[in-house]
A and B are shown apart, each in its own frame.
Chain A
Amino acid sequence: MKLPVKMTINGQSYSHEVEPRLLLVHYIRETVGLTGTHVGCDTSQCGACTIIMDGQAVKACNFFAVQTDGANIMTIEGLAKDGELHPIQQGFWEKHGLQCGFCTPGMIMSVYQMLERYPKPSEELIRHQLEGNLCRCTGYHNIVKAIEWAAEHMPAKK
């Protein structure tokens, strides 16, 4: 049995018929073909699949695609606008906030919400907010620096 789903991802609308057990992350990666969102675990610890859904950072492995019918989603591929990197992306580049790059898309999407909520986070707050995203390469030092860089360079809110 397949069910219809329709959603907007990075401003583009998609509709497919999918198995009810298909996870949102696999829908995004396999059905839609946006492979920037990664799968690093099967117990929702690693955060590599973090996306923005209806304004909230969520782990795309925590939803069935059919549950998110009608959702408005942004993935890592939708963050840079007109070839211009988002300050968070720029921060990760400037401060060497990535090595193998596998956790990076999820990290960046998680930070996207962090900086919306806390535009000038302290180091302690950053570390606490990163609790749901694992990185095995950087020891987090330069990820913290990257987020501080991004916070300094975010355009002022209107």
Chain B
Amino acid sequence: MAAVASDRLFGKSIKRREDPRFITGRGQYVDDLKIPGMTYAAFVRSPHAHAKIRKIDTAAAARHPGVVAVFTGKDMTGVNSLPCGWDLRKEKKIPGVMQDLAIVPHMPLTSDAARHVGDPVAIVIADSHEAAVDGAEKVQVDWEPLPAVTVTEKAAASGAPKLHEGAPGNVAFKWEIGDRAATDAAFKTAGAVTVKKRIVNQRLVANAMEPRACVARYDDATGELTLWVTSQNPHVHRLLMCAFVLGIPEHKVRVIAPDVGGGFGSKIFLYNEEVVCSWASRRLKRPVRWTASRSEAYLTDAHGRDHVTDAEIALARDGKILGLRVKTTANLGAYLSTFAPAVPTFLYGTLLNGVYAIPAIHCEVTGVFSNTTAVDAYRGAGRPEACYVVERIVEAGARAAGMDVADLRKKNFIPKFSGAFQTQVAVVYDSGDYGAAWDRMLQMLDYRKFRAEQEAARKQGRLLGIGFSAYIEACSIAPSKLVGALGAGAGLYESGKVRVHPTGMVTVYTGSHSHGQGHETTFAQLTADKLGIPIEQVEIVHGDTGSIPFGMGTYGSRSASVGGTAILMSLNKVIEKGKKIAAHLLEASPKDIDFSGGQFQVKGAPAKAVPFGAVSLTAYVPHNYPEGLEPGLEETSFYDPSNFCFPFGAHACIVEVDRETGNVRILRYLAVDDVGNVINPMIVDGMVHGGIAQGVGQALCEGAVYDGQSGQLVTGTMMDYAVPKADMLPMYETDRTVTPTPVNPMGIKGAGETGTIAATPAVVNAVVDALAPLGVDHIEEMPMTAQRVWKIIQGAKAR
């Protein structure tokens, strides 16, 4: 990396440039849009978890005052299924496929049967929101209710109600990774301590604070469709909708994702509603707006997690891990969401090596369909599930071997390395110093002192516990060629365009999208540094396919590392071209021009210099200009990384359990993360905090619950689904170690998901530790609500 200038913005916690509009109420979210002639849409949804549609009568709805149109799936002729963007089939030579992915249809409006509560069957479009909702109530659907299955472990059981013709036994796929024979052999090692545990990773709902919304406007004069949509990846939305579902010309569609109020994965995917509204706008030649109510969001936003796992670990007598065997059933819901098959396979099995030197691993996953909302990537996506299995089973193993959970981890860490560490589950780690983050965390914690305090507290009958998590994750998603070989239907590069204006002002267009990540600040820091200009001269544009080169968007902690690198590449091209212009102006050779501090200067002759602004102007007023060089100063780059990046860290949580009520209170939460180099520490800390809260939420209070009989989503509102509140959470004690990645030039690994991945096992491990004096050595299910913990305490007492 280049020498660090004292006024460098890279690494500085500058305040966010996007904040003034948000703190004054002038953010522009999709639902804030009003367009002349706009109509309002309401969807008619299935009240049943599983039912055949005999007939839909829309006549009364169509007659309702204010209703403009009512459409069902049968009206949408020529419209295709929503696509699944990840293909797990043997014929595609995808590694690990044991049983091909059942690619089942997912129509924007279902017309044969509903397969989960909330499955949309009709759209009512009216002059007002009220008329649309009233009209929707007048749509008569003749349902034939069918038996439903929602429970993960029962979905593929014999006799379970069948969801799709093309998926016998409700099996979506079977997949494996690792070495089965070597793992079986490891478990037969003489004297090995082996432990097997059932570990359930419950279903979650992302709950971005802004519900999903879209406005589709078709202009029949130009034939252009503009779709404003709550999207983390507007180009992906456009491509999938145009090429796969509606069959409309991509260049006549503009997708805009304006200010978006959080995503956490749930706004990656192409959903029914935005497709139907786009189609209807073309049909009616009027703008159509739809905004999910929160209740609709619970029923239709892709859910996360929902794994049931049997995990086994084998340890040598000295505590060295010999092998790990994992068998998981992953509930995919009723349909295949956009990237659903990737989450419990390549984003899960590949992370089971954790931060440990494990000689043998095998993992087998069965994906199943059920009468529930589709499951796809939710913050961390597969990696939290993997980390949860590893970090829970490692502690279970330590307890079985009679070793301290911290000592056992330390004994097994992969030693410090940079460049490549080949795991037993295909991926190659980029760089790591797991012991350093761990030691820093223990130091902040004062571990031995805590154990003494815990001992004393236990003597008083108090239930104090500590839990750890030494996590790793795969970020900066990802090399296109690699993910293509694994079944991805898309590349995973990013675009970055730098437009230098004649006055030396700069607009940067990124294919990445900010829905809270702060791109308008961090990417401007990067740009101002590189060009040596004040940050005020830099504008960042994101979220508009009309102005930005094709980009893949924001998820998988890829914005700074992949998106930022694309911008850096364009900045370098701008500087290279600028050198040619400057050389001409200074009558020197381009190779003798240095660029620093915003000045192009002749090497060794600092007086012979021309500022960036003058070079910019010359590029657009090319009177005195190099022969053969194109005018203008604008560069575009696409960056495709050579590998994933692998951030890691060490988290610890101290809890106290109330013996009488079962209530769990977090006393301390510590996080030492290593995300490589950091552009804006304040922003990265903020992401870590928010991630921890989501991970704690899963551990303590969150969970999507279906009624096993009716298939109704019991936790269908914010009154019933417990999003963590301020008074449940402590101030987080955070620090960082810095192990830059060699994968990208800035050494950035990615920071968006770390907290969520690490926190859940740390908290649950802490509860298990707290209950250890009662003889508890494992807890299968989350969340650790007071009721669940109370029951565990009562059960332990009864033994």
From B26, B516, B692, B723, A77 is in contact (CB under 8 Å) with B26
Task: Tell whether, in the assembled complex, residue B726 and residue A131 are in contact, meaning their CB atoms are under 8 Å apart.
Answer: yes
Annotate B691-715 by CB proximity to A: 1 below 8 A, 0 otherwise: 1111000000000000000000000
Q: How far is the CA of A38 from the CA of B731 in the complex (A)?
A: 27
Q: How far is the CA of A13 from the CA of B373 in the complex (A)?
A: 45
Q: How far is the CA of A137 from the CA of B379 in the complex (A)?
A: 11
Q: Least Cβ distance of B567 to chain A in Å?
A: 21
Given contacts A102-B261, A126-B726, A127-B727, contact A36 B732 (CB under 8 A): no
Annotate B238-273 by CB proximity to A: 1 below 8 A, 0 otherwise: 000000000000000000000111101000000000
Task: Tell whether, in the assembled complex, residue A77 and residue B24 are in contact, meaning their CB atoms are under 8 Å apart.
Answer: yes
Q: Least Cβ distance of B119 to chain A in Å?
A: 20
Chain A residue nearest to B211 in the complex (CB): A40
Given contacts A85-B23, A89-B23, A134-B718, contact A100 B261 (CB under 8 A): yes
Q: A112 near B: Cβ within 8 Å?
A: no
Chain A: interface size category: 35 or more
Task: Tell whether, in the assembled complex, residue A94 and residue B690 are in contact, meaning their CB atoms are under 8 Å apart.
Answer: no
Annotate B282-310 by CB proximity to A: 1 below 8 A, 0 otherwise: 00000000010111000000000000000
Chain B residues whose C-beta falls within 8 Å of the C-beta of A8 in the assembled complex = none
From A33, A42, A48, B295 is in contact (CB under 8 Å) with A42
Q: B686 near A: Cβ within 8 Å?
A: yes
Q: How far is the CA of A76 from the CA of B32 in the complex (A)?
A: 15
From B18, B689, B723, A142 is in contact (CB under 8 Å) with B689
From A33, A41, A99, A131, B516 is in contact (CB under 8 Å) with A99
Task: Tell whether, in the assembled complex, residue A75 and residue B516 are in contact, meaning their CB atoms are under 8 Å apart.
Answer: no
Interface-centre pick from B28, B32, B689, B717 (highest chain A CB count, 10 A): B689
From B210, B260, B719, B729, A40 is in contact (CB under 8 Å) with B210
Annotate A113-157 by CB proximity to B: 1 below 8 A, 0 otherwise: 000000000011011101101111111111110000000000000
Q: Least Cβ distance of A91 to chain B in Å?
A: 9
Task: Tell whether, in the assembled complex, residue A99 and residue B690 are in contact, meaning their CB atoms are under 8 Å apart.
Answer: yes
Task: Tell whether, in the assembled complex, residue A141 and residue B209 are in contact, meaning their CB atoms are under 8 Å apart.
Answer: no
Number of interface residues of B (CB under 8 A): 59
Q: How far is the CA of A89 from the CA of B20 in the complex (A)?
A: 9
Annotate B717-736 by CB proximity to A: 1 below 8 A, 0 otherwise: 11100010111010110000
Q: How far is the CA of A26 from the CA of B723 in the complex (A)?
A: 24
Chain A residues whose C-beta falls within 8 Å of the C-beta of B20 in the assembled complex = 85, 93
Task: Tell whether, in the assembled complex, residue B260 and residue A92 are in contact, meaning their CB atoms are under 8 Å apart.
Answer: no
Chain B residues whose C-beta falls within 8 Å of the C-beta of A131 in the assembled complex = 725-727
Chain B residues whose C-beta falls within 8 Å of the C-beta of A76 in the assembled complex = 23-25
Task: Tell whether, in the assembled complex, residue A100 and residue B718 are in contact, meaning their CB atoms are under 8 Å apart.
Answer: no
Annotate B196-217 by CB proximity to A: 1 below 8 A, 0 otherwise: 0000000000011111000000
Interface-centre pick from A79, A105, A128, A140 (highest chain B CB count, 10 A): A140
Chain A residues whose C-beta falls within 8 Å of the C-beta of B295 in the assembled complex = 42-43
Q: Least Cβ distance of A108 to chain B in Å?
A: 7
Q: How far is the CA of A138 from the CA of B694 in the complex (A)?
A: 10
Q: A16 near B: Cβ within 8 Å?
A: no
Chain A residues whose C-beta falls within 8 Å of the C-beta of B210 in the assembled complex = 38, 40, 100, 102
Q: How far is the CA of A92 from the CA of B20 in the complex (A)?
A: 10
Q: How far is the CA of A156 from the CA of B723 in the complex (A)?
A: 36
Q: B29 near A: Cβ within 8 Å?
A: yes
Q: Least Cβ distance of A41 to chain B in Å?
A: 4
Q: How far is the CA of A124 from the CA of B263 in the complex (A)?
A: 29
Task: Tell whether, in the assembled complex, residue A100 and residue B208 are in contact, meaning their CB atoms are under 8 Å apart.
Answer: yes
Annotate A31-62 by CB proximity to B: 1 below 8 A, 0 otherwise: 00111111111110110100000000000000
Q: How far is the CA of A29 from the CA of B289 in the complex (A)?
A: 15
Q: B755 near A: Cβ within 8 Å?
A: yes
Q: Least Cβ distance of A147 to chain B in Å?
A: 10
Chain A residues whose C-beta falls within 8 Å of the C-beta of B755 in the assembled complex = 139
Q: B539 near A: Cβ within 8 Å?
A: no
Known pairs A101-B261, A102-B29; list 5 more (Cβ under 8 Å).
A36-B24, A96-B685, A98-B22, A124-B727, A136-B209
**Can you name 22 A-B pairs with beta carbons within 8 Å?**
A34-B25, A36-B24, A36-B27, A38-B29, A42-B293, A77-B26, A85-B23, A93-B16, A96-B16, A99-B262, A99-B516, A99-B686, A100-B515, A101-B261, A103-B261, A108-B23, A131-B726, A136-B208, A137-B262, A139-B694, A140-B689, A142-B689
